[in-house]
Structure 1
């Protein structure tokens, strides 16, 4: 009997204790981002050439027929990149801070950042011999170690799944539009 009372008492303490109770989820900020924040994110989307991400999302999507696939790609081709940046900027501003947008835009506009973007969308198979390491110039090594870049890069990487989801949503909207 003592064991049952101790078990009940223990469970009641656990359920009453805030440390063991279910964690409360804080809702995302519902405040609208400032126009400067949205513009910073729009600049980042342009530097990232996000329209190529939309093409990748379209290529990975399933279609009922090849004609439907071609129609989606035709609509994407007719949609100007600036319109894509503008339409994605507001939802992305909820995911990406203004500081991250500014820092990553600066990075992607450097020669090394342009190489990163080019490799991201145009990577082919690469043969790397065992024991060889890619040659990274000293200025690029220094860039990778900057605290602002490290933090912004991590935040952007963490937001990548949400960015893909927003790109898919925009792709669906573009597909529904009459163009």
Structure 2
């Protein structure tokens, strides 16, 4: 009887939690086309996902430093194009073709390349700006509704992207 009460109390607690704690699955597209996968592959290339794979490798737990070094060595042998291609299909279930195309365009721009550089390199020292300052044209481009929507969608998919990177790392390490 006590277990039933605890279970019901837990169910009520979970049901009344705010939406910020709930993890809703992303709406999967009905059909993933070759063009959609190509757009996500282009996004992976623009974001230089081979560098994200190195950070996933570095943040993973290994029993010894030799295992970590072996994982890095195996990762270095995989061509970056193969990393993009192997991440593209699983991520196409989460990232729409429109989001991928818009964000690939952004990350291929001058300002986007600066942001990608900051993603994978050390942060600026004290007193320096945390992000590069965009020009007026770049600010105007980032205020477009298509960019705002795509940026938010990509930010929402960040956890899935890192998870798929970890899954890929496990496959490479085998």
Same fold per superposition (TM over 0.5): yes
| Normalised TM-score (structure 2) | 0.80
For 1:109, the equivalent position in structure 2 comes to 108
In terms of Rg, which structure is larger?
1
2:139 alignment partner, one of 128, 138, 141: 141
* Structure 1 residues 123 and 140: CA distance shift in structure 2, 3 A: farther
For 2:93, the equivalent position in structure 1 comes to 94
Superimposed CA distance per residue, residues 86-142 of structure 1 (whole angstroms, 9 cap, x where no aligned partner): 111100000100000000011011101111101111133422279xx9643211211
Gaps of 5+ in 1: 1-24
Question: Secondary structure of the residue that 2:157 maps to in structure 1?
Answer: helix
Tell me if structure 1 keeps the 8 A contact 2:27–2:94: no
Superimposed CA distance per residue, residues 58-107 of structure 1 (whole angstroms, 9 cap, x where no aligned partner): 00011011110000000111100000011111000001000000000110
Aligned-residue offset at 1:144: 1.6
After superposing the two structures, state which structure 1 stretch, 78-87 or 138-147, moved more: 138-147
After superposing the two structures, state which structure 1 stretch, 59-68 or 118-127, moved more: 118-127
Gaps of 5+ in 2: 1-23
- Alignment map for 1:65-84 (pairs within 5 Å): 65-84=64-83
CA distance in 2, matches of 1:114, 1:103: 14
- Alignment map for 1:137-176 (pairs within 5 Å): 137-176=135-174
CA distance in 1, matches of 2:106, 2:26: 31
